[in-house]
Structure 1
Amino acid sequence: MPESSIYDRIGGAASVEAAVDLFYRRILADPELAPFFANVNVERLKRHQFAFLSHALGGPVRYTGAQMSQAHAHLAIEQRHFDAVASHLAQTLRALGVDDQSVQEILAAIAPLAVQIVNTRRGLASD
């Protein structure tokens, strides 16, 4: 039998939806990150995030949104912002009962996106 995807292992669509909801509650409560979401349609963003995470974790949903670099180009994102978002994601997943191995796999899948999302000289790894 083929190995199941992370998406399936964490509980599929219902779990991803719960994670996205809690994740954005955490993000919007973080004074460091909340300003990035001023004047943003959070419900629309949640739909995009659901599709992105579902796709990234091997689920049946396909993400058809903008490339990460394009979607974040108008924001001054430093590595510390990316790291804070990843930390909120890990905390969210753990709060929802996702096992540590799966959390680590999810973070490893998301980590390479930093080169597309971090877009300030101060925040670039080469500094």
Structure 2
Amino acid sequence: MSAYDGIGGAGAVKAAVAVFYQRVLDDPDLRAWFDGIDLARLKAHQRAFLSHALGGPDLFAGRSMSEAHAGLAITDGAFDAVVEHLAMTLHDLGVSADQLVGVRATIEGLRDEVVSA
């Protein structure tokens, strides 16, 4: 069973994204990157990305990761913090340690497309 199915599919992913962004926005080291951002749109993109990363449907149809993050001067430290917030959220939802390793690997593979500072 995929992590996507294991946590409850689309409804659980939607809940995870809501919790994840609350954690990110509560983090004083990260919140500035989200000032003025259309959060509803960003959450929709994150739901599509996370669904795929968890072994669910590939629903994403948007800009590439490098295009979406160009000019944001995202640091390795910020990238790592976002990954930790996501991992904690998924852990809290019951994603197993083994499945989290796979999710982290998927996200780590995007570091060079996201980090630019």
TM norm structure 1: 0.85
Matched, 1:24 2:21: yes
1:62 to 59, 63, 66: 59
Matched, 1:47 2:44: yes
1:97 counterpart SS class: coil
Q: Compare CA radii of gyration and give the structure with the larger one.
A: 1
Residues in 2 aligned to 1:9 and 1:81: alpha-carbon distance in whole angstroms: 28
Instruction: Give RMSD over aligned pairs.
Output: 1.3
Task: Show structure 1 runs of 4+ deviating over 4 A.
Answer: none
Paired AA for residue 37 in structure 2: V
Residues 37-77 of structure 1: CA deviation (Å, up to 9, x unaligned):
00011111101110111123332242011101100002011
**1:97 aligns to what?**
94
**1:110 aligns to what?**
107
Paired AA for residue 26 in structure 1: R
Higher relative contact order structure (alpha carbons within 8 Å, sequence separation ≥ 6):
2
For structure 1, the residue ranges without an aligned partner over 5 or more in a row are 121-127
- For these two proteins, the number of residue pairs brought into alignment is 117
Matched, 1:15 2:25: no
Q: Which has the higher helix share?
A: 2
